[in-house]
Copies of this chain bind each other. A is one copy, B any other.
Amino acid sequence: MKNQKLTHNKQKPAWRSPCPIARALDIVGDKWTLLVVRDLVLGKQTYTELQSSPEKIPTNILADRLRRLEQHGLLKKRRYQAHPPRYSYHLTPKGQALGDALHEIVEWGLRYIPGSSTAGTKE
Interface SS of chain A: helix
Chain B residues whose C-beta falls within 8 Å of the C-beta of A22 in the assembled complex: 35, 55
A18 at the interface (CB under 8 A from B): yes
Task: Name the contact of A30 in the complex, choosing from B31, B38, B101, B120 (C-beta under 8 A).
Answer: B31
Q: List 10 A–B pairs whose Cβ atoms lie within 8 Å, in order of A's numbering.
A: A1-B56, A17-B120, A17-B121, A20-B106, A21-B105, A23-B113, A23-B116, A97-B108, A97-B111, A101-B107
B-contacting residues, A28-70, CB 8 Å: 29-32, 34-35, 38, 53-56
* Most chain B CB inside 10 Å of its own CB: which residue of A38, A104, A110, A113: A113
User: Distance (Å) between the CB of A31 and the closest chain B CB?
Assistant: 4
Using a CB–CB cutoff of 8 Å, the interface residues on chain A facing chain B are 1, 15-27, 29-32, 34-35, 38, 53-56, 73, 94, 97-98, 100-113, 115-121
User: A18 and B115 in contact (CB under 8 A), knowing A25-B34, A30-B29, A31-B29?
Assistant: yes
Q: When the two chains form their complex, are residues A19 and B98 in contact, meaning their CB atoms are under 8 A apart?
A: no
Docked Cα-Cα span, A4 to B106, in Å, equals 22
Residues in B with CB closer than 8 Å to A25 are 31-32, 34-35
